[in-house]
Amino acid sequence: MKFQALALAFLAATAIGGIAWVFIYPMLSGERKAEQRRSSVAKAEPVVRQAERNQRSRREQVESSLKDLEAKAQKQSKVPLNIRISQAGLDWTVQKFWIISGVLGFVICAIAFFSGGGPLGALGLGFAAGFGLPRWILGYLKKRREKKFLAALPDAVDVIVRGIKAGLPLFESIKVVAADAPEPLRSEFLAIIETQAIGMPLGEACARLYERMPLPEANFFGIVIAIQQKSGGNLSEALGNLSKVLRDRKKMAEKIQAMSMEAKASAGIIGSLPPIVMLLVYLSTPDYISLLWTHPTGQLMLVGCVVWMSMGIMVMKKMINFDF
């Protein structure tokens, strides 16, 4: 009997201890709170992963936008003639350009031939006037138009920033710039408005600005707008930073121009010295130097001198021009 009582007491104590271990010990040891804390952290983990996923997708969108814009810029390495004419600010057609080039080359060739220059020299001058001079004029007009565009672009970006901060949409801010900006900035922003009005997204319309105005600054503006339209973000802050970058680039270009003026003056003197000496010799002793364009050997020598001088001038131009 005594042994049975001890066994029953042992079993009862074991059962009570097991029940206490299961129900009372977790509350006293804090395991339940730890489990609740672990579950809350586990519930919050998908939110963190979702934020990382969103950030990763935004980064991928930015990278894809930059790759698309770089691909478009590489395609424009060989610019067609009609686009070059529009970049120069002219409304000519390609046919009109070739007609004017042909007439100009024929007139210069005829003037050189009837003035006693010989057929070879006349053909050389006609070819240079027909193919080289019109393209040089296009390049000159294009650069002059680009300088005017760069001078007005930072102020236009500041106007857009102030409009966005005041609550205007981006499209309305661009309209304000198109209404008040000087040429050629006014016509370029009007082209953006017209392109967007026919159904093209605003980011792509702004990215096309680089096709009509092939400048890094115009490309920066198109990249900022295109990325903001795809991935979002604070547009006023991005455009404000862009305005600062544009003004800093303008200051750097002016500083480089001031520092390279001595080299440009030396190159101009070296390049203009042979024609000036030739003109002075012709004014003093015309019979002595007239053999260059009357005798066949002299004409050949004159053509060779023009070729070598042109190569030297182009080399000096490459040496004193700085890209940044």
Higher pLDDT, 55 or 250: 250
Q: Lowest mean pLDDT: which of 110-119, 158-167, 197-206, 213-222?
A: 110-119
- Whole-number pLDDT of residue 228: 78
State residue 192's pLDDT score: 86
Per residue in 155-169, pLDDT (tens digit) is 888 888 888 888 888
Asked if residue 225 has pLDDT above 70, the reply is yes
* 180-196 average pLDDT score: 85
- As a whole number, mean pLDDT of residues 278-306 equals 85
The four Cα atoms 97, 98, 104, 107 give a dihedral, to 10 degrees, of: -150
pLDDT confidence of residue 43: 47
The residue to which tokens 């698309």 are assigned = 68
What local confidence, expressed as pLDDT, does residue 44 receive?
43
Question: What's the per-residue H, E or C state across 256-308?
Answer: HHHHCHHHHHHHHHHHHHHHHHHHHHHHHCHHHHCHHHHCHHHHHHHHHHHHH
For 47-94, how does the pLDDT look when each residue is reduced to its tens digit (9 = 90+)? 445 555 555 555 565 556 555 655 555 555 567 888 888 888 888 888
State pLDDT tens for residues 102-137: 888 888 888 877 876 667 777 878 888 888 888 888
Above pLDDT 90, what percent of the chain? 0
How high is the pLDDT of residue 178? 84
Contact between residue 217 and residue 150 where contact means Cβ atoms under 8 Å apart: yes
- Stretch 235-245: mean pLDDT, rounded? 85
Q: What is the pLDDT averaged over residues 288-294?
A: 82
pLDDT for res 42: 47
Q: Determine if the peptide bond prior to 184 is cis (ω within 30°).
A: yes
Measure the CA–CA gap between 143 and 149, rounded to whole angstroms. Answer: 10
Res 95 pLDDT > 70: yes
Question: Which pTM was predicted?
Answer: 0.62
Mean pLDDT on 280-290: 86
pLDDT top residue among 112 and 37: 112
Instruction: Give yes or no for residue 3 having a pLDDT over 60.
Output: no
Across 23-43, average pLDDT: 56
* CA-atom Rg of the chain in angstroms: 38
- Cα dist. 201→82, 105, 253 in Å? 25, 45, 33
Q: What is the pLDDT of residue 89?
A: 80
Percent of the chain with pLDDT over 70: 73
